[in-house]
């Protein structure tokens, strides 16, 4: 029997969306009337078919029940947590790498003075939270010892956690525990909670919100011929199995965010498939985070027009992701991206 997946599509944004929702011609995403849709794509591993939301009632009963089950999660209102506001899309997670070797900003902010200044700069520019990390997980990077990672971030965490909401970017359970004790608001584990077996115990005990990111392989080798049967559905299944496992381990809260991990064990084709079809993950029922900022897909798509900071490509992909209902964007250049989002919203709602 075929396994069916539901992807909402044909989105409307802003004033147009609100008008269509009032006329019941489109369905608001998570009860957020500013973003709505009027089609779904029914996907299996062998086929795809788009239909109007008004044609769902004509589907065979078993399939109709499956689609409506997914739609209930897609339509349900998202409760705010960790300073994220899911009735104001997108939220911005500002990036602060306190490392000498991160792919884009390594070595720029890895002193106490520069790190603290950048944290406040990102927050004052409009970031909801600042994602602080002390270990580079860029393609080709090697893991570092726990003490080295903690020494890179501890002094800055102590200075900013009482004044700025902080997300902690780490794969290590002991670093998580120390960060939680200092007041971080969320844990962002790029390994999908797979790197450290004790991570689940920390999350269960603390009940802290967390991000599950998909990655294929360790950072040192993840970009060496990444392979999937179907990158979109394989990653969907990964999230579904991970949530089921977490429930079995006693983590019952819904303060969980899903990140498909652009660039983490994916080539250009994989990344483009994920970005283009990102709305499939709404049917899992959790907020979606995408780290599109300055990523290599921008270089590969823009060719000779690539630039060091890739703000243009980050802006273009951010607008697209926002219009697909992605709730959180992980961004380096917060001020510039906030500027673009504000201008776009003003124009489209004029």
Confirm if 344 and 89 have CB atoms less than 8 A apart.
no
Confirm if 331 and 293 have CB atoms less than 8 A apart.
yes
Please tell me the distance from the alpha carbon of residue 41 to that of residue 64, in angstroms, as a whole number. Answer: 13
- Per the rule left: phi > 0, alpha: psi between -120 and 50, beta: everything else, 311 is alpha
Please tell me the distance from the alpha carbon of residue 229 to that of residue 243, in angstroms, as a whole number. Answer: 21
Angle at 153 between CA 149 and CA 159, to 5 degrees: 165
- The torsion angles phi and psi of 196, rounded to 5 degrees, stand at -125, 120
Please tell me the distance from the alpha carbon of residue 297 to that of residue 60, in angstroms, as a whole number. Answer: 40
Within 10 Å of residue 145's Cβ, how many Cβ atoms? 10
Residues classed as catalytic? 295, 330
Please tell me the distance from the alpha carbon of residue 87 to that of residue 195, in angstroms, as a whole number. Answer: 33
Confirm if 199 and 190 have CB atoms less than 8 A apart.
no
- The torsion angles phi and psi of 211, rounded to 5 degrees, stand at -105, 135
DSSP state, 290? E
């Amino acid at each position: 029997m075929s396994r069916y997946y539901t992807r909402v599509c044909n989105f409307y944004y802003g004033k147009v969306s609100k008008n269509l929702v009032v006329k019941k011609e489109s369905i608001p995403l998570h009860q957020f009337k500013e973003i709505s849709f009027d089609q779904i794509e029914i996907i299996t591993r062998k086929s795809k078919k788009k239909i109007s939301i008004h044609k769902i009632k004509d589907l065979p009963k078993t399939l109709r029940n499956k689609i409506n089950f997914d739609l209930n999660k897609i339509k349900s209102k998202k409760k705010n947590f960790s300073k994220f506001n899911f009735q104001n899309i997108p939220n911005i997670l500002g990036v602060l790498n306190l490392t000498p070797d991160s792919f884009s900003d390594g070595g720029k902010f890895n002193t106490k003075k520069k790190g603290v200044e950048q944290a406040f700069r990102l927050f004052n520019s409009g970031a909801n939270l600042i994602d602080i990390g002390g270990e580079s997980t860029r393609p080709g990077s090697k893991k570092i010892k726990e003490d080295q990672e903690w020494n890179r971030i501890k002094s800055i965490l102590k200075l900013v956690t009482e004044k700025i909401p902080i997300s902690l970017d780490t794969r290590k359970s002991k670093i998580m525990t120390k960060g939680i004790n200092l007041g971080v608001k969320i844990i962002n584990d790029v390994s999908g909670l797979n790197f450290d077996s004790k991570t689940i115990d920390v999350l269960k005990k603390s009940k802290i919100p967390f991000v599950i990111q998909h990655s294929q392989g360790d950072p040192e080798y993840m970009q060496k011929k990444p392979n999937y049967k179907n990158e979109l559905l394989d990653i969907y299944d990964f999230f579904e199995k991970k949530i089921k496992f977490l429930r079995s381990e006693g983590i019952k809260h819904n303060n969980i965010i899903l990140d498909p991990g652009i660039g983490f064990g994916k080539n250009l084709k994989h990344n483009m498939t994920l970005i283009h079809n990102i709305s499939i993950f709404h049917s899992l029922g959790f907020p979606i985070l995408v780290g599109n900022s300055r990523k290599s897909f921008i270089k590969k798509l823009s060719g000779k027009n690539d630039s060091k900071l890739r703000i243009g490509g980050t802006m273009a992909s951010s607008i697209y992701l926002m219009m697909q209902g992605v709730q959180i964007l992980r961004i380096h250049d917060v001020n510039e991206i906030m500027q673009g989002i504000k201008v776009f919203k003003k124009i489209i709602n004029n």
